[in-house]
Amino acid sequence: MENVNIKINGIDYSVPAGSTILEAVRIAGIEIPTLCFLKDMNEIGACRFCMVEVAGPRGNRLVSACVFPVNEGMEVFTNTEKIRQSRKTTLQLILSTHARKCLSCIRSGNCELQKLCKEYGVDDEGKFDGFKPTYELDESAPHMIRDNNKCILCRRCVAACDNQAISVIGANARGMDTHIGSAFEMDIDNYSCVSCGQCIVACPVGALYEKDQTAEVFAAIQDPDKFVIVNTAPSIRVTLGEAFGLPVGTNVTYKMAAALRRLGFDKVFDTDFSADLTIMEEATELIERVTKGGTLPMITSCSPGWVKYCEHYFPDQLDHLSSCKSPQQMFGATMKTWYAQKYGIDPAKMVVVAIMPCTAKKFENKRDDQSAAGYPDVDISLTTRELARMIQTAGINFNLLPDEQFDSPIGEGSGAGVIFGATGGVMEAALRYAVEAITGEKLDNVDFKEVRGTKGIKEAEYDVAGLKIKVAAASGLKNAQKIMEDIRDGKSDYTFVEIMACPGGCVNGGGQPTQPASVRNFNDLKALRAKAIYEADLDLPLRKSQDNPAIKMVYDEFFGEPGSHKSHEILHTSYVKRSLYNK
């Protein structure tokens, strides 16, 4: 790549041509603070916080580093008094309309605005205080709360929603009345929001947050009449550590089990078990469709954000969805049927708590046809962030915990279950089972690397005992839209498609720990987290769902075989055609 020569704070550097000043100065070891900027998503230079000085024939001028390109001979200054005063004034103006409730804010200590105010010595005296608009909380969505009183109008949430091809929020009104909302000032739940939560992880402040259910979980744990079971999704093991200062991609599987046990749960299980269960049912369904002429391509149904998106935007294509419940729901359904019967527990007194990377799970556990035992399969879904807050509230020093195993008999999962956390993982796990089932031969090489990686759409074709199996794995709903339009138009020749609502899959879910723009803009979070997922898979003695002894036990004792009548009653579900303007 061609370079250009520039001067940064009086020192000469050679930087890639086409770079922005924000990118170029990192070569000099300098980080320019931002608020509105998110790389490849929200590059609008709106907040004016990243201002730097650029020398010119008529004197220095202030420009936005996030969008201003470098050129040959440019001279840049990043830390002059003029710049510092500009940034301080910007912060004071933002605070003039900001609800300054930092002590009780859910993002206190992890707020980008709060951090910058500390760095630039801006307190809450309110230099520019005057008219301050006030807003009612929007609590209509099943998964989150919008507090526009804390919104700084960076529009990062709007960009995230647009990036998901949903676009149900935007900037309403003008001038001092500008605020983020939905069309006609209607509650967001009246529109086709899919609860993916990508707007939440994009928000730099406390204007968006999940509906916290930690108090409900603490109450259930303290109730002597309740038997409280917790299960953790595959991706949580490589993200929870971030909430406690550990590097991105640190695997904390067994510290997490120890923390959950100390919180007081009666049983601590791994959702990898029900991910394996999902593979047994889903791959069996795929084989039946391929061999008996069912609707193809079959599309996975593990991501509730994707399922709701399909119900809203492609209701005429629902026959392509697998009828399998997600691993979260299969776990709860199995607990309140087989496990309750086996151990003599009244399912009415059982509380199943799921720790998920996904805010859409809060919507999913309230769906119809998700109550196999006559009670909701899952009672409460917590995000990774909520679990971290529970651990902190309980005074547990997470980083000093010993490693502990999950409980038996279903604390065991295979590597196939673990890789559910990354885009392409469900596809690869299903192939590990389907190839053996079709060929009748043991699969020695279980790595289907063609469907790995963070690319938005990945394709591969396999010859399995003479059957041509063409597959695709897509993450992010904009990529799902492309695939679904091809299917609707008859242009697709796929056999099996995996779709995850969140870009990069569950490791990048809307319920995962928030990271500031300074981290997100220069590190591929989804790739770092996915790398840890695949390393965990390699380290496990069992890497195929069908080899999991807990899975064999459950089928022998209860379900009979994959795809049986009983498994369909308990582990499968149905879908609803939705318009773009209803729930």
- The residue extents of the domains of the chain are 3-79, 95-210, 214-571
pLDDT in tens, 536-561: 999 999 999 999 999 999 999 999 99
Q: What is the pLDDT of residue 35?
A: 97
- How many whole angstroms separate alpha carbon 408 and alpha carbon 30? 51
Q: Is the pLDDT of residue 313 over 80?
A: yes
Structure tokens at 421: 């956390």
Q: Is the pLDDT of residue 583 over 60?
A: no
Strand partners, 75: 7
Tokens 């992880």 correspond to what residue?
Answer: 201
Instruction: Report the Cα–Cα distance between both ends of the chain, in Å, rounded.
Output: 49
Is the domain covering 214-571 a CATH 3.40.50.1780 domain? yes
Q: What is the pLDDT of residue 144?
A: 97
Q: Quick check: helix, strand or coil at residue 278?
A: helix
* Strands laid side by side in the 467-475 sheet: 298-299, 496-500, 467-475, 457-464
Q: Which amino acid is at 147?
A: D
Is the domain covering 95-210 a CATH 3.30.70.20 domain? yes
415 pLDDT band, cuts 50/70/90, is very high
Q: What percent of the chain has pLDDT over 90?
A: 95
- How many whole angstroms separate alpha carbon 182 and alpha carbon 63? 32
Q: How many CA atoms lie within 13 A of 488 on its CB side?
A: 13
Q: Quick check: helix, strand or coil at residue 570?
A: helix
Q: Is the pLDDT of residue 492 over 80?
A: yes
Q: What percent of the chain has pLDDT over 70?
A: 99
Name the least confident of 173-182, 220-229, 349-358: 173-182
- How many whole angstroms separate alpha carbon 258 and alpha carbon 404? 5
Q: For domain 3-79, which architecture applies?
A: Roll (3.10)
Name the least confident of 344-353, 379-388, 461-470: 461-470
Tokens 């879910």 correspond to what residue?
Answer: 509
Mean pLDDT of the chain: 96
Is pTM, for the whole model, over 0.85? yes
Strand partners, 13: 6
- Most distant CA atoms of the chain, gap in Å: 83
Q: Which amino acid is at 524?
A: D
